[in-house]
Amino acid sequence: MADLVKNILAKPIQLADQVIKAADEASIFKQECTELKSKTEKLVGLLRQAARASNDLYERPTRRIIEDTEQVLEKGFCFLFETVDYLQAVIIH
């Protein structure tokens, strides 16, 4: 059971790390990206803490929470890519 929960948590942890890295590299909307990075760092800390305590977690509720978490992280990642696309459009035109 613990390994299953760790596998469920692996994807959002990896996605959160990617969001943090992308927020660091953002060159426009700095304030928004900094805020997104800060909140994502807190979230990834909680995800890692949950992974360490995976023996005490039940699969079904964990899966539901993680699905919602993944959606939020994907939206944040999309925001960061939109800022990059916007910057490229402004520079090119």
**pLDDT (0 to 100) of residue 12:** 95
Instruction: Provide the whole-model pTM.
Output: 0.82
**pLDDT (0 to 100) of residue 32:** 87
25 — pLDDT class (breaks 50, 70, 90): confident
Domain boundaries, the chain: 2-92
**19-47 exposure pattern, b = at least 16 Cβ within 10 A, e = fewer:** bbebbeebeebeeebeebbeebeebbeeb
Q: In this predicted model, what pLDDT tens digit does every residue of 50-88 receive, in sequence order?
A: 999 888 888 888 899 999 999 999 999 888 887 766 655
Distances 82 to 24, 30, 89 between C-alpha atoms, Å: 15, 13, 10
SS3 49: helix
